[in-house]
Amino acid sequence: MSKFYTFREFLGYLEGKGDLVRLKEPVNIDYGVTKAARKYDGGPAVILENITGFDMPIALGIFNRRCNIAALLDVSEDLLIETIIERSQKPVKPVLTKGPAPSQEVVIETPNLLREIPFPKHYERDAGRYCTSGVILAKDLDGPGVNVSFARMQICEDKILVMINDWRHLITMFLKAESLGKNLPVAIIIGPDPVLWLEGAMPDGLAGIEADELAVAGGLAKAPLTVTKAITSDLPIPANAEIIIEGEMIAGKREIEGPFGDYPKIYDEPPRFNPVIIPSVITRRKDAIYHNIVPAMYEHFWLGGVPREADLLKNLQRNVRCVRKVHLTPGGVCRFHLVVQIEKHNDLEPRDVIMAAMAPGETSRDIKVIIVVDSDIDPYNLEDVEWAVATRVQWDRDALVVGRLPAALDPAAVVHTSEEAAKRDECCGAKIGIDATKPLYSGKLISIFDKVDIPSESE
């Protein structure tokens, strides 16, 4: 069995290997957290111990490095994506604790959210203070399973405005409850067992709407999550989380949310009429740590990108067997630019890969550029990928552009979407596929595509 980490155990693990710094100087809740995160972006995790006006520390950058996610699953980094695919298909049901739950040590009724928890304001034009690290638990009215998903939440004193895209399970569940005139009970989990974050970012292709996502998270850890009963609903909630906000998503209610500086490093600000959560109770550990994800930094990219790579690899390999590896590059904010490595048997396979990567799906929606490379190119080495593009592509033959496909949070697509469509939140954009593989006949001509080298006996 691999090691199972609670949130604070994982912080302890990072600290133990020198991958966590503690900062004691005062940090302002407005922009100060962003400033500190910038300094350590892509580096060690950080605990800000002194947030002005709050007793609670803030932890950030826990997934600053891709290898931290591999460490969480106790696998080597090169097996990370395959491991996520494999384990997501072997759920392990949570166990209900009979004893008191650490996540309910303190109970705060009718809370003032802005006073109780140090939610930061991250960027200049953000509409306010935001919760970026909470995963939202909800149950379909007819289904047994619990859904888990991330969504950005604009925090007001007594309510939460939550941005949920049209195609999420969470919104499907809410719309169903709403059509029956019912509110949807939810629990927002901050600082859960970190496998639950990974699960909360998992696309539909790995955890369908019928899945019990607490069990999928258990599958990732190869050990059950410990849960307890929520106070104001029958949702099972993680017993070892740092902070939990219980509440309801209110039927018939929408309010304008945003702008918000999001993962593409731009402000997302069409007028978004988003659902409203009214909190009933906050429960937390006595010495709770708030976990914050600063948008548009590495923790945000890896958390979004790694589960998406698993979704893509599974989907592409099902459709086109020559696919070996996939990489959503950090320069493309781990969403927009995809490199696919294949073992080519046939000159048309790259086109199949390109079409499969553009086919409808949660991950494909964001992808704008697909570069297909041969097995001698390392898809994680972007200089290598660029070299393949430089030496193997003829643009009139090897590029395939498809226009007017669904897109999300892409500013270049937004400006090309008609006003009428934008009103319906239908953003559409173009995608390009680039076949940067060698043609199969090349070996018969001369070895024109071979990389320069010296004889192996000279090494």
Ligand X SMILES: Cc1cc2nc3c(=O)[nH]c(=O)nc-3n(C[C@H](O)[C@H](O)[C@H](O)COP(=O)(O)O)c2cc1C
Residues that bind ligand X in the complex, under the rule CB under 6 A: 132, 147, 149-152, 163-165, 168-170, 200-204, 293, 300, 303-304, 362
CA distance 37 to 47: 10
Report the residue closest to ligand X, judged by CB: 149
CA distance 160 to 112: 11
CA distance 68 to 434: 31
Report the residue closest to Mn ion, judged by CB: 169
Whether residue 205 contacts residue 253, with contact meaning beta carbons closer than 8 Å, is answered with no
Decide if residue 88 touches Mn ion (CB under 5 A). Answer: no
In the complex, least distance from residue 61 CB atom to ligand X, rounded to whole angstroms: 13
In the complex, least distance from residue 373 CB atom to ligand X, rounded to whole angstroms: 27
Query: Residues binding Mn ion: what is the number (CB under 5 A)?
Result: 2
In the complex, least distance from residue 359 CB atom to Mn ion, rounded to whole angstroms: 20
CA distance 237 to 240: 9
Classify burial at 458, counting beta carbons within 10 Å of its beta carbon; exposed 0-12, middle 13-18, buried 19 or more.
Answer: exposed
Q: Report the partner that residue 247 touches, choosing among ligand X, Mn ion, none (CB closer than 5 to 8 A by kind).
A: none
CA distance 425 to 313: 29
Decide if residue 169 touches Mn ion (CB under 5 A). Answer: yes
Q: Which residues contact 208 (CB under 8 A, 6 or more apart)?
A: none
Whether residue 186 contacts residue 177, with contact meaning beta carbons closer than 8 Å, is answered with no
In the complex, least distance from residue 221 CB atom to Mn ion, rounded to whole angstroms: 18
Decide if residue 368 touches Mn ion (CB under 5 A). Answer: no
Nearer to ligand X, 203 or 429 (CB): 203
10-18, 36-44, 161-169, 191-199 -> range binding Mn ion (CB under 5 A): 161-169
φ, ψ at 288 (rounded to 5°): -60, 145
In the complex, least distance from residue 142 CB atom to Mn ion, rounded to whole angstroms: 15
Instruction: State which of residues 83, 132, 147, 363 lies at the interface with Mn ion (CB under 5 A).
Output: 147
CA distance 372 to 341: 6
φ/ψ region of 432 (left if φ > 0, alpha if ψ in -120 to 50, else beta) reads beta
Q: Report the partner that residue 150 touches, choosing among Mn ion, ligand X, none (CB closer than 5 to 8 A by kind).
A: ligand X
In the complex, least distance from residue 220 CB atom to ligand X, rounded to whole angstroms: 14
Decide if residue 280 touches Mn ion (CB under 5 A). Answer: no
Nearer to Mn ion, 138 or 281 (CB): 138
Whether the link from the prior residue into 259 is cis, omega within 30° of 0, is yes
Nearer to ligand X, 147 or 417 (CB): 147
Q: Report the partner that residue 203 touches, choosing among ligand X, Mn ion, none (CB closer than 5 to 8 A by kind).
A: ligand X
26-34, 142-150, 215-223, 376-384 -> range binding Mn ion (CB under 5 A): 142-150
14-22, 140-148, 237-245, 250-258 -> range binding Mn ion (CB under 5 A): 140-148
Question: Which residues sit opposite 281 in a β-bridge?
Answer: 109, 246
74 counts as catalytic: no
Nearer to ligand X, 132 or 280 (CB): 132
**Residue length of the chain:** 459
Decide if residue 233 touches Mn ion (CB under 5 A). Answer: no
In the complex, least distance from residue 397 CB atom to ligand X, rounded to whole angstroms: 35
16-24, 93-101, 163-171, 276-284 -> range binding Mn ion (CB under 5 A): 163-171
Two tokens, residue 247: 């509440």
Nearer to ligand X, 59 or 388 (CB): 59
CA distance 180 to 176: 7
Catalytic residue among 262, 352, 366, 435: 262
43, containing H or E segment: none
Nearer to ligand X, 60 or 373 (CB): 60
φ, ψ at 200 (rounded to 5°): -65, -20
Nearer to Mn ion, 217 or 323 (CB): 217
3-state SS assignment for residue 257: strand
CA distance 55 to 330: 34
List the catalytic residues.
262
